[in-house]
Amino acid sequence: MNMTTAISAYTKVGIESVVSSADPHQLISMLFQGALQAVANAKNGIKRNDIPAKGAAISKAIAIIGEGLHASLDKNVGGELAQNLSSLYDYMVLRLITANLKNDTAMLDEVTALLADLKSAWDGIRQPVAAAMPAVAPQLAAASNKVQQAYGRV
């Protein structure tokens, strides 16, 4: 077994361990992070004129958004919010496809900004608000619950 194979196997086990021990909220956050990383890799591929790397990274980002984030939405429970997120994910996938065809880093930056905003909001709903702002904690908890329902996480 060469060193690259060993490192790859170790990394795979490490990732699988993290995924298997993550709660549903953490899994969504990990999907956002993976999509952000894939888009960054695509942008680097364009800058290096590495077409295969760019294509693979964009394909990975599309898969994470389409098969991960989009597919995890519960449109029956999440209502309008889930529908809006669904439309936004469709838009991001379209922008990624177009960026791939045109080698357009500005489109990748747009998708990055959208994903970063969503990840920040998603991660933010996990913050303990009751201790910091007890007067608004019930309203924030209700809003957090609604967002998590969009992903079928409550």
Name all domains of the chain by residue range, CATH numbers in brackets: 22-150 (1.20.120.340)
- Distance between CA atoms of residues 82 and 73, nearest Å: 6
Query: Average pLDDT for consecutive 10-residue bins of the chain (154 residues)?
Result: 44 50 80 96 97 97 94 88 95 98 98 97 73 56 64 60
Instruction: For CA atoms 44, 104, 51, 67, give the dihedral sign.
Output: positive
Q: For residue 73, how many other CB atoms are within 10 A of its CB?
A: 19
Checking 84-91 for CB contacts under 8 A at 24+ apart, the result is 85/118, 85/150, 88/114, 88/118, 89/65
* Residue 104, amino acid: D
**Longest CA pairwise span in the chain (Å):** 59
Tens digits of residue pLDDT in 111-151:
999 999 999 999 988 765 445 555 555 655 666 666 666 66
Residues in the chain: 154
* Residue 73, amino acid: L
Q: Which residue has the tokens 């702002």?
A: 133
